[in-house]
Structure 1
Amino acid sequence: MPRKKLPVGQIGTIRYEEVGYRRWRALAYVRTFADKRIRVTGTGRTKSDAEATLKANANDRVFENAGAIIDGNTTLQELLELTVKAMRAGTIGNKKLRIQSVNTYGRQLSLFEGARGERAIGNLRLCECDKSIIANWLVKLSERTPANAKLAKILLSRAYDLTVVHGVNVWPINPTHGVKLRANDSEESEPVALSLAEIQQIWENVQSWQTPYKQTDLVGIVGALIATGFRPSEVLALQWSDFQLDAKPKAKATLSGAIVRQDGKLVRQGYTKTNSGFRTVTLPDWFRDMLIERLVNADNVLVFPNSRGGFLDIVNVRRQFREARGEVFSHVKFKSFRSSVATAIENVDGVEEAARQLGHASPAITGRYYVKRAADAGDHTAVLEMFAPAQSSQ
């Protein structure tokens, strides 16, 4: 009768040998996740010590996965780097992510290295990095930066999926399952809706900042954000061929791409975030006039190139806007113009038209994240009528 196979990870019968004065060796077999039966040993001053060493050695060896790129000795950092590569290639998850999203997750890798002051759990081997370590690390991270903790949790979850694909059962279940993170206050904050007076003041501040020595056309970029409701990365990708400045009765612009960072380089992605994002918007006359002024001296296919004729980096442009906007508007970000456009259109033409302008497939997205609304308190005038002033007898 053939010998019954050991279950994966289980240690067989342990034998003990006395190998010297107060020195014992424990010997046994264990089956690895590569489906190999290997012998492991451990030594110690007593049988118990030798057995404990044997079990620790067996735990290390059981995750060896012959021929695979991941095993128990792979560090968490190596696993996460492989995960980002798989996300970029679209070989993990339900759908291939946009390069912007993959880059966002890739930026979280430095957290696990300890580059931003966190504990460097990325240096731990997978056989050492259990759920309690990961859960504690995520919770501590969320206390300092909830947004990064949320992204790190998703990345770890995708890393777990990758271990399953490669047959490495280092975590019995997803180590992020059930981990409660601190809520990100900014996620619950209301969208900023700038008033006409505020926009006019920001205009003045930006125009004062702009000098002939400043290469970035910040006035034009802010104008494009206000005139279209496009995202900043979309505005920086605008080409002169995207505009129909002589269209009647109004000039138009067609959104067709965005500037993204890919493999460390800025590139123009020739498609929009969603299918509904590919759209043509009608431009206000003041912005058409602004573009016509710039077109006279244009020597680049891009409307807003950098000083060398290439793509502007949104990080640098945001920094310049922070310098220009004025201290009183420290709460205003580039995305504030998008929500201001949405709110202004919704107030006049309704949320459906605001959704069309912003390129949302559903008005619900526009209403939830981009339109600032006052809560409806209901009609209580029947009660409030009792407070009417008494009629004068005269």
Structure 2
Amino acid sequence: MLKDRQSPLESEVSPSMRLSELSTLWFEEIESNGRAGRRTIDGYKDTYRRVISPALAGLRLNELSTGRLDRFLKNVAADHPATARHSKVVLTGILGLAVRHDAIHSNPIREVARIKVATKDVQALSVEDVLKLRAVIRQWQDDSDHRGRPRASDLLDVVNIFLATGARIGEVLAIRWQDVDLQASPATITISGTVVMERERDTYRQAKPKTKAGFRTVKLPPFAEQTLRRKYIVEQPADDAMLFPSSTGTVRSPNNFRRQWRDARSGSEYEWVTPHVFRKSVATLIDREYSSKDAAAQLGHSGTAITEKHYIARATESPDLTKALEQFAGHEVVDGPTM
């Protein structure tokens, strides 16, 4: 019989199934097929638990119309547009499972109104800003008044590698000494992993970067090479040692680094500077001196679109319309000396 040949999943998914039941099946599927990383899945689950479930979990699939989903997402977007967009991604995946198993004819989420998220201007540090910020961090590191909290003594070194590579915080904290080649000319660092934080698991080094294009070898400017040579002489590390370990010699948590970074810049004019700002600063400088293609390669992007949209700070430049605008002068001749 046909019923006997059906898989358990095919027989379970039906128009009368509730979203809560379907979501369980979808999360099981994406965890087993390996297409999404642990952090991505945890993010999906968090969005479902906090945002989607309270409003929609009890509804059956045949009750989830495009109009109902559109109203739900608009209500979320009124206060939290980014959360609404993420909710749309999760719902698209969950309801896509129902489509694939013929429980519904089409995915109702695909026809909801577009969720607009305001884009923020890219903020990057100038060369002068970097010099001033370095002085702020150096003073913080040298301050003997620790106020009961131990201070990281290597923040300036981490900043130098941020500025020399344009790497993400997780990528920088995942660098091992075996990824560093001080014999090359110029010296290089190979970005070959990233630090991952998962629920119910200690922070660990993932043996691949965030994206396929993120696996790259970057050439280091002299200031970064000098930083690494000094560290190597002082520390005499093993090849498999982390370049910037935790206080106990293990993989350093990005959250712990961010806390140290907040302490270091607190009260200064650079409180707005997060580790990601260094990545944008590198992209902006390389774009200005070379090209956006070079900036994308340095950052580990597969193309220039994301780099140009989210990482390069530039003023809008109008086309040369001076000939047209000169018509406003008429026959007037401006007397006096010219500059």
The structure with the larger Rg is: 1
Summarize deviations over 1:97-156 as a string: whole Å, max 9, x none: 344433432331332477xxxxx1254143585334433322211122111111111111
Give the 5 Å matches for 1:243-392.
243-248=180-185, 250-262=186-198, 264-265=200-201, 266-295=203-232, 296-297=234-235, 298=237, 301-327=241-267, 328-382=269-323, 383-384=325-326, 386=329, 389-391=334-336
Structure 1, gaps ≥5 residues long: 1-33, 36-64, 115-119
**Would the alpha carbon gap of residues 173 and 370 (structure 1) be closer, same or farther in structure 2, given more than 3 Å must change?**
same
The question of whether the paired residues in 2 share the 8 Å contact of 1:76 and 1:129 is answered with: no
Q: Counterparts of 2:265 and 2:21 in 1: how far apart (Å)?
A: 42
The question of whether the paired residues in 2 share the 8 Å contact of 1:83 and 1:162 is answered with: yes
3-state SS of paired residue (1:210): helix
Q: Counterparts of 1:348 and 1:370 in 2: how far apart (Å)?
A: 15
Amino acid at match of 1:280: T
Deviation at 1:230, TM superposition (A): 0.6
Deviation at 1:216, TM superposition (A): 7.4
The answer to which structure, 1 or 2, has the higher relative contact order (CA under 8 A, 6+ apart) is: 2
1:174 counterpart = 2:111: no
Q: Which range moved further: 200-209 or 340-349?
A: 200-209
The RMSD of aligned alpha carbons is 3.2
Question: Higher helix proportion, which one?
Answer: 2
Q: Counterparts of 2:130 and 2:301 in 1: how far apart (Å)?
A: 24
Deviation at 1:372, TM superposition (A): 1.8
User: How many equivalent pairs are there?
Assistant: 317
Q: Counterparts of 1:290 and 1:374 in 2: how far apart (Å)?
A: 33
The question of whether the paired residues in 2 share the 8 Å contact of 1:72 and 1:125 is answered with: no
The question of whether the paired residues in 2 share the 8 Å contact of 1:215 and 1:306 is answered with: no
The question of whether the paired residues in 1 share the 8 Å contact of 2:160 and 2:223 is answered with: no
Normalised by the length of structure 2, the TM-score is 0.80
Q: Counterparts of 2:19 and 2:159 in 1: how far apart (Å)?
A: 42
Q: Which residue of 2 is the match for residue 190 of structure 1?
A: 121
3-state SS of paired residue (2:278): helix
Normalised by the length of structure 1, the TM-score is 0.70
Deviation at 1:75, TM superposition (A): 4.6
Q: Counterparts of 1:193 and 1:140 in 2: how far apart (Å)?
A: 33
Q: Counterparts of 1:252 and 1:145 in 2: how far apart (Å)?
A: 42
1:142 counterpart = 2:77: yes
Q: Which residue of 1 is the match for residue 46 of structure 2?
A: 107
Match of 1:222 among 149, 156, 159: 159
Deviation at 1:341, TM superposition (A): 0.5
3-state SS of paired residue (1:267): strand
**Would the alpha carbon gap of residues 338 and 286 (structure 1) be closer, same or farther in structure 2, given more than 3 Å must change?**
same
Deviation at 1:345, TM superposition (A): 1.2
**Would the alpha carbon gap of residues 311 and 389 (structure 1) be closer, same or farther in structure 2, given more than 3 Å must change?**
farther
3-state SS of paired residue (2:249): coil
3-state SS of paired residue (2:110): coil
Q: Counterparts of 1:200 and 1:258 in 2: how far apart (Å)?
A: 28
Q: Which range moved further: 380-389 or 288-297?
A: 380-389
**Would the alpha carbon gap of residues 81 and 268 (structure 1) be closer, same or farther in structure 2, given more than 3 Å must change?**
farther
Q: Report the identity percentage.
A: 28
**Would the alpha carbon gap of residues 125 and 376 (structure 1) be closer, same or farther in structure 2, given more than 3 Å must change?**
closer
